[in-house]
């Protein structure tokens, strides 16, 4: 059994605000269920799909539906999560909450790396938690159009060779590992810092022909002396960078002029984690965390991980590559 560090054994025990602890407990509980589903692989009885296309223009995988339903049920029952933006839901959803308690707005990618779902390769869930702002009407997209600096907690769950949950709160990033027998997520890394060494870079090099010449030159510069690793699930590539050191790049290209990664439930969530862990995240022309999206499913270019490498890319892009 993992020993409690600083008295913290599970994600929720480290949280002083009871309402926030409750919101995180909903995420922890849904992740445990999704982990079980993911591990069943092809043996899982999945909801039927008929080639439906989601708001992203992508074919919906049955696991996307099951993951969304699992988190939605947990948020709806929590009494403290007032709303949700989810990769798989065209519009934000709102839930009733206890008016006497603080409440939160969550952003979620229930299954990140869907293209890896049927081939037993690591996928994950990505979450972010905003405090509900006083006096803001809880309807439509407006309550979610906020910068990542507003988050009070973000993180992800990785369904890999083990299931790990990473939780970032102000100044602190922790990793918990799911202990299957008890269903508990137990603390396994207490204070994660992105290493100063940066041995890896991750990018879909196959898209090189679609990049601007400036991006081509920036990637060419940043990859010197580094090994390429690319899982195709951002959640996995980011976890390697957080633990071992590295930098992840998803630039804009001719097919995706705004990039592919979504601002709210991907880029900003990881940017918040990276910054708490001493790393950096940029959209190429400034920090991800300062970006206020115009719409909840907005996309952005993303350069994230080791702070020196991210600055190297920014510098190269500013100089035209
Ligand atoms: P999704 O959330 O729809 O599964 O998207 C996954 C993202 C990200 O996780 C990954 O790094 C990227 O898509 C891979 O895209 P390419 O296949 O274009 O490289
Ligand atoms: Mn995703």
Q: Which ligand is nearest to the CA of 116?
A: 1
Quote the pLDDT of residue 188.
96
Q: Provide mean pLDDT across the span 92-115.
A: 97
Q: What pairs with residue 109 in β-bridges?
A: 126
pLDDT digits (tens, 9 = 90+) for 277-290: 999 999 998 999 99
Q: Assess whether pLDDT exceeds 70 at residue 42.
A: yes
Indicate the length of the chain as a whole number. 321
The pLDDT of residue 321 is above 80? no
pLDDT band at 213 (very low <50, low <70, confident <90, very high): very high
pLDDT at 4 over 70: no
The residue that leads in pLDDT, 44 or 16, is 16
The atom number, within ligand 1, closest to the CA of 115 reads 4
With a 6 Å cutoff on the Cβ, whether 113 touches ligand 1 is: yes
How confident is the model over 301-320, as a mean pLDDT? 94
Q: Is 153's C-beta closer than 6 angstroms to any atom of ligand 1?
A: no
Which position has the higher pLDDT, 296 or 7?
296
pLDDT reading at 58 higher than 90 = no
Give the chain's count of helices (H) and strands (E): 6, 15
Q: Tell me the domains of the chain and their CATH numbers.
A: 18-189 (3.30.540.10), 200-320 (3.40.190.80)
Q: What is the mean pLDDT of residues 196-224?
A: 97
pLDDT of residue 147: 98
Mean pLDDT across the chain: 95
For residue 224, give the 3-state DSSP assignment: coil
- The least confident of 42-51, 149-158, 182-191, 294-303 is 42-51
The per-residue pLDDT for 291 is 98
Ligand 1 centroid to Cα of residue 60, in Å, is 14
Residue 6: pLDDT band with limits 50, 70, 90: low
Structure tokens belonging to residue 26: 């909903």
Cα(113)–Cα(118) distance, integer angstroms: 10
CA atoms within 13 A on the CB side of 121: 15
* 110 CA → ligand 2 middle, Å: 8
Q: How many A from CA of 135 to the centre of ligand 2?
A: 31
Ligand 2 centre and the CA of 78: distance in Å? 24
Q: How far apart are CA 262 and CA 38, in angstroms?
A: 23
Other Cβ atoms closer than 10 A to 36: 16
How high is the pLDDT of residue 1? 46
Residue 125 beta carbon below 6 angstroms from any ligand 1 atom: no
What is the model's pLDDT at position 46? 79
Pairing between strand 227-228 and 200-202? parallel
What's the pTM?
Answer: 0.96
Q: What would the two tokens of residue 197 be? A: 């060494």
Residue 65 has pLDDT above 80, yes or no: yes
Mean pLDDT of 12-35: 96
Look at residue 7 in the predicted model and tell me its pLDDT: 61
pLDDT surpassing 70 at residue 210: yes
What value does the mean pLDDT take over residues 238-258? 98
How is residue 127 written in tokens? 């979450």
């Amino acid at each position: 059994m993992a020993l409690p560090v600083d008295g913290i054994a599970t994600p929720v025990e480290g949280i002083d605000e009871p309402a926030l602890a409750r919101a995180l407990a909903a995420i922890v509980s849904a992740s445990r269920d999704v982990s079980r589903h993911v591990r069943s692989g092809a043996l899982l009885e999945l909801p039927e799909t008929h080639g439906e296309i989601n708001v992203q223009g992508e074919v919906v995988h049955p696991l996307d539906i099951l993951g969304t339903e699992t988190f939605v049920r947990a948020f709806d029952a929590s009494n403290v999560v007032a709303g949700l933006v989810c990769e798989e839901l065209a519009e934000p959803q709102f839930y009733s909450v206890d008016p006497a308690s603080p409440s939160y707005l969550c952003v979620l990618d229930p299954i990140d790396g869907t293209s890896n779902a049927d081939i037993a390769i690591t996928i994950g869930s990505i979450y972010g938690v905003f405090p509900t702002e006083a006096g803001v009407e809880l309807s439509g997209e407006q309550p979610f159009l906020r910068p990542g600096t507003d988050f009070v907690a973000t993180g992800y769950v990785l369904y890999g060779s083990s299931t790990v949950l990473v939780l970032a709160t102000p100044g602190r990033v922790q990793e918990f590992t799911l202990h299957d027998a008890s269903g508990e997520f137990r603390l396994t890394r207490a204070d994660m810092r992105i290493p100063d060494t940066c041995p890896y870079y991750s990018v879909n090099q196959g898209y090189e022909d679609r990049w601007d010449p400036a991006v081509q030159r920036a990637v060419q510069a940043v990859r010197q002396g580094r090994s390429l690793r690319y899982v195709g699930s951002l959640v996995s590539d980011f976890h390697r960078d957080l633990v071992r050191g590295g930098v992840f790049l998803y630039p804009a290209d001719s097919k995706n002029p705004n990039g592919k990664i979504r601002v709210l439930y991907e880029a900003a969530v990881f940017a918040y984690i990276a910054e708490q862990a001493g790393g950096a995240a940029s959209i190429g022309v400034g920090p991800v965390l300062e970006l206020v999206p115009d719409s909840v499913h907005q996309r952005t270019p993303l350069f994230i991980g080791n702070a020196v490498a991210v600055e190297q890319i920014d510098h190269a892009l500013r100089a035209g590559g």
